[in-house]
Amino acid sequence: MIERTEPRRGADPQCLARLAVAAAAASFALLAGVAQGADGDTGAPPGTDRATLAYDGIPVAARALEPALAGSLAARDARPVGWTTAGGLVVATRFGETRQLHLVERAGGARRQITFGTAAVLDAAVSPDPVAVNLAIVSTDTADQARLSWLRLDRPEAQRPALGIQAEGAPLWSNDGHRVAIASNARDPASRDVVLTSPDEGAAPRLLVSGEGGDWEPLDWSPDDRKLLVLKHLSALEGHLYVVDVESGERREIDAGGAPAAVGAARFARDGQGVFLTSDRGGGSVRLWFVNFFTGERSALSAAGDGDVDALALSRDGRHVAYASNEAGTSRLHVLDWPSRQEAHAPRLPAGGVVSDLRFDPSGDRLAFAYASATTPRDAYVLEVADGRVEAWTHSEPGAVEPSQLVVPRLVEWPTFDRDAGGTRRIPALFYAPASPGPHPVVVLFADAPHAQFRPVFDPWVQYLVRVAGYVVVTPNLRGASGYGRDFAALDARTQRDAVVKDIGALLVWIGAQPECDRKRIAVAGTGYGGYLALAALANFGDRLRGAVDIAGISDLVGFLAEAAPENRAAWRAELGDERDPDTRAFLRRISPLTDADRINRPLLVVHGERDRAVPLRESTQLVNRLRARGAEVWLLTAGDEGHVWRRQTDRLAQAAVSAHFLEKVLKSPTPE
């Protein structure tokens, strides 16, 4: 599944999920995670246990590709969640239907499964208490909502739900291991509060920060557990950081003043002198700063030219600060010795990969992190800070494929319609091409959130499309994507939203000029916001396209904003505009694919989970009904027990089979007149 940075919040991947309509670390995973063939046009095949999958207008032959896809999409990955006090590493990975937690005791050691629920684990945190050894786990329920639960490593069968917690982010343990801070909308679906809770039996959550007026998230406890760093997120380009007194609730803003700035991760210095934070204050890239509590002085710890800082960790003793910088899509890992402010031994990592999920062990001598490249699945690695030595603690399989056959993308740029300071503006993309001579059919994949960024990490679906199906795959980072500085991220704001569609038009022209590409055989695909872009491309540039795959896409921006899940509505209005304003409403209506449905005259595959809270199912059904009313060819695949991100492996495989069959039909059939 293509990995990308989630919507831009400065740095912290958990913060970034706020504007994403998907909540997981799989970007276009919905195409690689989809449904299965059918017996006729509707309903599951006889003898299967997939009664919740509904196939409407989908040929029986769609199932035929599933066996060929099974091996390619069987790939696994792993990411570190945290260290136990005994020195083991808890990782999240999938060995069955859904992602669960496993314990690894040493480099290359066996993964011992410690959660066994049917719900997919989204995130978890390990308590620093050496006696209670509790895990705080966030997983999805059957209504596509996230819930908090508790688990003891020595009693995995006794996992129990936290009282009254509907989670909206990752759990954050206090330093003494007695409390957890977490964002929750249990009190008010339209608010993200910060609440404190405890694994003690019968412990009720306590409201610390009310979510009115913003989207709040806890980031770090002070060393004495008396204060909490909390982020108030207003938009992808504006956040405010506060220190909150845990007892009184009083709060004080940190690094205030000046123009709005994005704030991502933040950590208390262990000596109480200040805070480390990532921010794009002052413009340009997201940098790592230290802000002194007493003087207010800001010191830059990362260079302006290093690219956006998108991960941050601080050792428990305060000696080491680790961060990852995003440099043209790939990562560079840095570890600072804080007393001297000098870089420690440079980690020896393969070039061209992506680093995330930084986790220091209790001693501060080892740093766990996730690393992935275009040809290697994400795995958990450990850095020995003293000498820069790196070992892989997990070894995930890329599926039934010879690793040497995997395709490495190249970074390309194309000229778009407007200009920047350097002349004609150029937009970046990753370009995957088969080894055989072209021209090849082309699939353009759009990211699932406005500020998401495609990065060169292993994606079994993309590898299948290129290696097996023989397509060129292009993953563009359209204006607004993170990773290229604040100015680029702001280019799609509100009334500039239609400029993104113009970028797509320029991309299609550029593709037509590439010798590897067959300009008469191009399809587009996307999930969530990317589904909106695929539909908009089909409506505006249908003469250049053969079809589109829309997975949980937005067809009517006005209706979507009015009916979006309450916890997401404010963030989407900050991003797209407020549909309650008449002028904004008219603009959003004009650029909505539903408005231009009569101009969609190419085949369309629509996929949607019926329990999707991020994008209501109505966004798909209303478009399907409109198109079918005038005889358009539309395939519709729905899953009654899946949400926005399809998490069961069998459902994901089935969706991929339908998607692969649809793309084969539209891209390899005779060229239409």
How long, in residues, is the chain?
A: 673
- Looking at residue 305, its pLDDT comes to 78
Residue 355 has pLDDT above 90, yes or no: yes
Residue 480 and residue 477: Cα distance in Å, rounded?
Answer: 8
Residue pLDDT, tens place only, 617-639: 999 999 999 999 999 999 999 99
Residue 24 has pLDDT above 60, yes or no: no
Which residues, including other chains, have CB under 8 Å from residue 623's CB and lie 6 or more apart? 535, 550, 555, 593, 594, 597, 606
Residue 463 and residue 434: Cα distance in Å, rounded?
Answer: 10
The answer to whether residues 452 and 5 touch, using CB atoms and an 8 Å cutoff, is yes
Residue pLDDT, tens place only, 137-150: 998 765 678 899 99
- Looking at residue 213, its pLDDT comes to 63
DSSP 133-176: -EEEEEEE-TTS-EEEEEEETTEEEEEEEEEEEEESS--EE-TT
Residue 449 and residue 262: Cα distance in Å, rounded?
Answer: 17
If one compares 1 and 556, the residue with the highest pLDDT of the two is 556
**CA angle (203, 209, 214) in 5-degree steps:** 135
Residue pLDDT, tens place only, 26-78: 333 434 333 222 223 333 333 334 568 999 999 988 888 888 888 888 899 99
Residue pLDDT, tens place only, 392-403: 999 999 998 888
The answer to whether residues 314 and 323 touch, using CB atoms and an 8 Å cutoff, is no
The CATH fold assigned to 4-73+401-668 is Rossmann fold (3.40.50)
Residue pLDDT, tens place only, 363-381: 999 999 999 999 999 999 9
For the entire predicted model, the pTM comes to: 0.91
Residue 493 has pLDDT above 90, yes or no: no
Residue pLDDT, tens place only, 427-471: 999 999 999 998 999 999 999 999 999 999 999 999 999 999 999
* Arithmetic mean of pLDDT, 253-276: 92
Where residue 186 falls among pLDDT bands split at 50, 70, 90? confident
Q: What single DSSP character describes residue 468?
A: I
- Looking at residue 263, its pLDDT comes to 94
Give percent above pLDDT 90 in the chain.
Answer: 71
* Beta strands 517-527 and 440-446, pairing class: parallel
The answer to whether residues 1 and 28 touch, using CB atoms and an 8 Å cutoff, is yes
The answer to whether residues 7 and 482 touch, using CB atoms and an 8 Å cutoff, is yes
Where residue 422 falls among pLDDT bands split at 50, 70, 90? confident
Residue pLDDT, tens place only, 195-227: 999 998 888 899 999 987 678 999 999 999 999
Buried b or exposed e, range 337-354, using 16+ CB within 10 angstroms: ebeeeeebeebebeeebb
- Looking at residue 27, its pLDDT comes to 35
If one compares 298 and 164, the residue with the highest pLDDT of the two is 298
The answer to whether residues 312 and 276 touch, using CB atoms and an 8 Å cutoff, is yes
- Looking at residue 451, its pLDDT comes to 92
Where residue 191 falls among pLDDT bands split at 50, 70, 90? confident
Residue 260 and residue 355: Cα distance in Å, rounded?
Answer: 28
Where do the domains of the chain lie? 4-73+401-668
Residue 22 has pLDDT above 50, yes or no: no
Name the average pLDDT for the chain.
88
* Arithmetic mean of pLDDT, 146-162: 88
Residue pLDDT, tens place only, 83-96: 999 999 999 999 88
Residue 503 has pLDDT above 50, yes or no: yes
- Looking at residue 6, its pLDDT comes to 36
Residue pLDDT, tens place only, 304-347: 878 899 999 999 999 999 999 999 899 999 999 998 888 887 78
- Looking at residue 31, its pLDDT comes to 41
- Looking at residue 363, its pLDDT comes to 95
- Looking at residue 37, its pLDDT comes to 27
Other beta carbons within 10 angstroms of residue 618's beta carbon come to 15
Buried b or exposed e, range 529-552, using 16+ CB within 10 angstroms: bbbbbbbbbbbbbbebbbbbbbbb
Structure-token match 């191009």, residue found: 522
Cα-based distances in Å from 223 to 99, 133, 296, 311: 32, 20, 20, 21
Where residue 594 falls among pLDDT bands split at 50, 70, 90? very high
